[in-house]
Structures are given as C-alpha cells and as structure tokens.
Amino acid sequence: MTRQELYEQIRSKRSYLCVGLDTEWERLPRHLLKYDDPVFEFNKQIIDATRDLCVCYKPNLAFYEARGARGWESLRKTLEYIPKEHFTIADAKRGDIGNTSTQYARAFFQELSFDAVTVAPYMGEDSVAPFLAFEGKWVILLALTSNAGSRDFQLDTQENGQLLYEKVMRRAMQWGSPDNLMFVCGATHPEKFAELRAIAPEHFFLVPGIGAQGGDLEGVSSFGFNDHCGLLVNSSRGIIFAGSGEDFADKARAAALVVQGEMAGILGEG
C-alpha cells in the first residue's frame, strides 16, 4: 500500500485508528472455546465489528508465537480475513544481521504478505536494509516507544546534544524515505511530538499508548499531524478487551467508535 492510498483510507473513513490484535488466550471469552480455532474466531468478530472504523490492523506476533504452530495458523487465517483495503502491520520488532533480517523480511512480506513490520534499529543499517529492499512494503522503526523503560536509553543525550531517539531517526531517514519508512512514537510522550514532527516532517508515525496506557490523542494529533495526517494511532486492549462476555464484539465496536469519533472531530478541525 502506498502512502497516498493509506491517506485516502484515512480521509474516506475519517479515522487514523489502528486496532492492535494482541489476542491473549487467557482473556478470550469462554464461549469461544467451543470453536476449532478460538483465537481466529475472536479476531474475526473483532474485525467484523471494527472494519469500517479503522484503517489498520496490527497483530502482535508474541501472542501468536506463544502458541506454536497453532498460533501461526491463527495468524495466517486472521491476515487472510482482514479486508484488503486495510493496512496490515506485523508487530514483530525484528532486527538482526543482514542475512537473518532477509529471512525475517521474507517471512512477513512474502509468506504472510503483511504491508509493514516493526523493526528494532539497535544493530544498525545492515539489519534494517533487507526489510527496505522489498518493493511496496514498509519498515516501522522503533524511535520513541510508549513503555516506561523508553527513558532508560532513548532519552539519553549524545555527545552532539541530540537525544538518542533523534539520532536514530535522523540516521534512519538516510536509509529509507517517507514512502517506505515509518517511526514508532509513543503517545505517552505527547510533549515530544512537535520535536518528532520537526525531525521527520513527511513520515508516518505509528503511535501506541492510546487507551490502556493513557496517551493523549488530542495532544498527539495537534502536534503530530502533517499534510497526509501522518499518524496511525494504535489501540489494542482498550478496544479488543472492552468486553469479556458474549457481547465482546459489540463492546469492542463501541470502544472503537468513541476513538473514531474523536478522530473525525480532530480531522474536521484540521
């Protein structure tokens, strides 16, 4: 999916919502256990309930890999079920020496046909470049993440006065372009979004931390927007586990509708 196609989805749906499919086996509604593949059935009903309210789905690979071959099969079926107009992200946080990264890229871009994969930049350019080599696919590079531990390293000041996440972003922008490179920028750092946007004015940001982590949607949007919106704001637990009973999909839709309504209002003001 191209940057323009993604922006057209945002405009038509008046939404820049990404629904994170962090499907925990232990939190599945009990009535789903009668199905041959309860994880897929859960995801299927979540997708049916939210497909018109979001532009993106992001399965977190840990929740599928933890179940071995069964989990990978649930992931494959989920990805095939997601409507083709939606942007799909493998939240895998991969990154290794070049030949290993090439195999990761083949797994997510060729075998599973995701549009994008999250990548950790710690090992440098040769660990990221194999992902960028795939035409029409995206790297979403960890920059300033939403977890509490992000302060351990990402906000360290370097010798030239830059913070580490700034150095990562500026260096990575030499490897990719706004057409194949996004950055993960956490909503729990809303005060940083003006600086983040100044560093990368044209790139999309994937923004976790809205919902269960308490991020500020309006603050992030007011400082993070660019002329293509430039944001994919993710909510996982706050939507998919909004309910735990037989009406879980209805509860998920209601939670997604609240976020989409806020987004529509913000987009209408811009």
Query: What positions carry a catalytic annotation?
Result: 93
Distance CA 71, CA 111 (A): 15
CA 82 to each of CA 52, 55, 129, 155, 250: distance values in angstroms, whole numbers, following the listed order: 12, 11, 28, 36, 18
Q: Are 223 and 193 in contact (CB under 8 A)?
A: yes
Length in residues, the chain? 270
Which residues are CB-contacts of 162 (< 8 A; sequence separation ≥ 6)? 170
Residue 195: φ, ψ to 5° = -70, -45
Chain center to CA of 226: 18
**Is residue 266 within a helix (H) or strand (E), and if so which, with residue range?**
helix 248-269
* Amino acid residing at 56: C
**Is residue 141 within a helix (H) or strand (E), and if so which, with residue range?**
strand 138-144
DSSP-based three-state secondary structure for 33: helix
Torsion of CA 237, 243, 249, 250, to 10 degrees: -120
Q: Are 151 and 174 in contact (CB under 8 A)?
A: no
